[in-house]
A and B are shown apart, each in its own frame.
Chain A
Amino acid sequence: MFHNSSQRKYWIFKSEDEVAHMRRKANQKFRNKIQESGKSAVSDSMFLERHEEDVLFRHYERRLLDFCNAFKPAMPKSVVGTALMYFRRFYLNNSVMEHHPRTIMLTCAYLSCKVDEFNVSSTQFGGNLLHETPAGQERVLEQILEYELLLIQQLNFHLVVHNPYRPMEGLLIDLKTRYPTLENPESLRKSADDFLTQAAMTDAGLLFPPSQIALAAILNSALRASLSMESYLTECLGLKEDKDSISKMYDSMRRMKTLLKKYELPKADEVNIYKPRLERIHAQFASSSNKRKRGYEDDSHVAKEPRLVEEEWTDEDLM
């Protein structure tokens, strides 16, 4: 359950500032690493700034969402939610300059299918990479398998993600059972669903428990439909005496709404500027870890020769 999960213990942060600070640290760490390794002619302007990294992150996050939505067989919502959460958590502690998002995003989807027990064989998964030849699909799959252990490591092996979809169902059931004041809770479902999908593209999952996100979704859609749900909180959830908690909950919901409002779709022209710079950084700096499997850092055994030479495949190969 969420209350004794690793998500609550390690992956819920106090404020947006803390999250931003972690991302800054990751960016700085990569810069320091490159400076220290003393590669020739490294100018600071080559690196990506935080806001530039953000644009690219959101761009690839969108592509991950589209990939999951176009997946055959149809991916359940929880799998999509888990994949997005993995992607988000990974880039909390790592910079997009260090590991390219396009492989990481596919690895997140692949791992999420496994963890959520949505059984897809690797061939089936590769078959969903529509713009690749079968040989290209195999290449991509090899890369995914190489990155898998690294991803798991960077998630600190905390693989279970609690998504807000089931809490939302639970709240709807509870509303129908104990809150007759609200006549048709089903009418709230569609807009609550949209709220949740949008929330998955923000940092809400890193700041609030999934049940609070679900409650915010439902309250928000009730507000939109001009239905009042005040008494639900006080009566049914037993918070009549606890004014403090009620105000805190409203506060959290306001924060969530702000997060959703702040989200903007990545602009195509910005993306087109930053992407080539990202490619250049990767081409120049991602050399040393190429020959070994990612994640096997201190392995003392001799690294296997890769079966195929790692060719650089571009974004267009993906979708």
Chain B
Amino acid sequence: MDDQGCPRCKTTKYRNPSLKLMVNVCGHTLCENCCDTPLRKSNFRVQLFEDPTVDKEVEIRKKVLKIYNKRDFDFSSLREYNDYLEQVEDIVYNLTNNLDVENTKLKMEQYQREHRDLIQKNKATLTREQEELEELLLLEQQGNEQRRLDVLQDEQRQLQAKRKNKQALLDELEQSQLPATILLAQHKVRAAQLETQIEQQKQTVKPTNLFSTGIHMRQTVSLVAVPKVEDVLFHYKPLHVETYGPPVPELEQLSRVGYLNHVRAAMPQDTAGGYTSALACHRAIQDAFSGLFPLKG
């Protein structure tokens, strides 16, 4: 971000850390200190993306989509929907790159006039859907809160039970006639009982009737059987590479046949790295035989 600065007054983030770069409608960045007179200050927005052209396109897209807000179920075929989307993209592209701005604006206004009702309806559906989503989110949040509170309460109760137990012990030690050891033993038994109770509570699953995915417990979900696909069994065939030449002996056979007698032997320094003379010999033979035969026909 250091290299981004206002093109006008040249202050950068480096020199003035509290500098905020704003994007204007035309897509150029200017800092708050020096905006030019023809550009209105209200049209400036804080720059979100590094490339100001991207920001400009985002703004234009928002405006266009407010008008062109048809959804995929508004169309009878996929092809029509895609054509519509392409139309929208063309408009956004034209406006971003300042091509044919007049015509595009005219087109937009015409579309707006023709489909005024549809636009309104879609706006309404959009808001409705958003509200529903918000409600769902709210419900979920509330559920989470509730669960958290429950857990807290349980813990409190357990703590209280323990304290009561201790207090009871102290009282008994004060008042009762029984000797201290017996009282202690009784206390220990009671503490152990409490512990097991707590453990049991943790183990019991709270009875619900909903799976985590939202399906009811008793609901039968139809599982369509996966159709069996008849396919030919796979047979392994080893790879055959056409070398257009005589067959090359295998690497391991080279020394047996006697090739290695005619190659420079590997020195200890070479074998340390994993080199053997068979490797060089094999490569030379491969190269010698590759493409040796003329092509047929």
Binding site for B on A (CB under 8 A): 1-4, 8, 162, 166-174, 176-178, 209-212, 214-215, 236-239, 245, 248-249, 252
Question: Quick one: closest A residue to B288, CB to CB?
Answer: A170
Cβ B294 vs Cβ A211 within 8 A: no
Cβ B294 vs Cβ A249 within 8 A: yes
Question: Quick one: closest A residue to B293, CB to CB?
Answer: A245
Cβ B290 vs Cβ A1 within 8 A: yes
| Interface residue ranges of B241-297 to A (CB < 8 Å) | 241-247, 257-259, 261-263, 281, 283-294
Partner of B244, one of A3, A214, A239: A3
Cβ A211 vs Cβ B284 within 8 A: no
Q: Cα distance A166–B292 when bound, in Å?
A: 13
Cβ B284 vs Cβ A173 within 8 A: yes
Q: Give the residue among A2, A170, A178 with the most B Cβ atoms within 10 A.
A: A170
Contacts A/B (CB < 8 Å), 16 sampled: A1-B243, A3-B241, A3-B243, A167-B288, A170-B286, A170-B288, A176-B262, A177-B261, A209-B292, A211-B245, A212-B292, A237-B246, A238-B246, A245-B293, A245-B294, A249-B293
Partner of B257, one of A170, A177, A239, A252: A177
Chain A residues with CB below 8 A from B288, complex form: 166-171, 173-174, 211, 214
* Nearest CB in chain B: distance from A130 CB, A: 34
Q: Cα distance A239–B293 when bound, in Å?
A: 9
Chain A residues with CB below 8 A from B293, complex form: 239, 245, 249
- Per-position binary interface string of chain B over residues 145-164, scored 1 when its CB falls under 8 Å from any chain A CB and 0 otherwise: 00000000000000000000
Chain A residues with CB below 8 A from B247, complex form: 238
* Nearest CB in chain A: distance from B239 CB, A: 12
Q: Cα distance A176–B259 when bound, in Å?
A: 8
Cβ B284 vs Cβ A169 within 8 A: yes
Q: Cα distance A167–B242 when bound, in Å?
A: 18
Q: Cα distance A277–B244 when bound, in Å?
A: 46
Q: Cα distance A249–B245 when bound, in Å?
A: 12
Binding site for A on B (CB under 8 A): 241-247, 257-259, 261-263, 281, 283-294
Cβ A3 vs Cβ B285 within 8 A: no
Q: Give the residue among A169, A171, A236 with the most B Cβ atoms within 10 A.
A: A169
Chain A residues with CB below 8 A from B283, complex form: 166, 170
Chain A residues with CB below 8 A from B286, complex form: 1, 170
Question: Quick one: closest A residue to B289, CB to CB?
Answer: A211
Cβ B244 vs Cβ A173 within 8 A: no
Q: Which 3 A-B pairs have the closest CB atoms?
A: A170-B288, A209-B291, A170-B284
Partner of A173, one of B242, B243, B263: B263
Question: Quick one: closest B residue to A242, CB to CB?
Answer: B293
Partner of B294, one of A4, A8, A237, A248: A248
Q: Cα distance A176–B294 when bound, in Å?
A: 24
Cβ A215 vs Cβ B262 within 8 A: no
Q: Cα distance A252–B290 when bound, in Å?
A: 16
Question: Quick one: closest B residue to A1, CB to CB?
Answer: B290
Chain B residues with CB below 8 A from A210, complex form: 287, 291
Cβ A3 vs Cβ B245 within 8 A: yes
Chain B residues with CB below 8 A from A215, complex form: 292
Question: Quick one: closest A residue to B242, CB to CB?
Answer: A3
Question: Quick one: closest A residue to B290, CB to CB?
Answer: A2
Q: Cα distance A177–B294 when bound, in Å?
A: 24
Chain A residues with CB below 8 A from B258, complex form: 177
Q: Cα distance A169–B293 when bound, in Å?
A: 18
Q: Cα distance A265–B293 when bound, in Å?
A: 32
Cβ A209 vs Cβ B290 within 8 A: yes
Cβ A2 vs Cβ B263 within 8 A: no
Cβ B263 vs Cβ A167 within 8 A: no
Chain A residues with CB below 8 A from B261, complex form: 176-177
Chain B residues with CB below 8 A from A162, complex form: 287
What 7 additional pairs, Cβ within 8 angstroms, besides A166-B287, A209-B290, A211-B289? A3-B241, A3-B245, A168-B288, A237-B292, A238-B246, A245-B293, A248-B294
Cβ B292 vs Cβ A173 within 8 A: no
Question: Quick one: closest B residue to A252, CB to CB?
Answer: B294
Q: Cα distance A249–B291 when bound, in Å?
A: 11
* Nearest CB in chain A: distance from B241 CB, A: 7
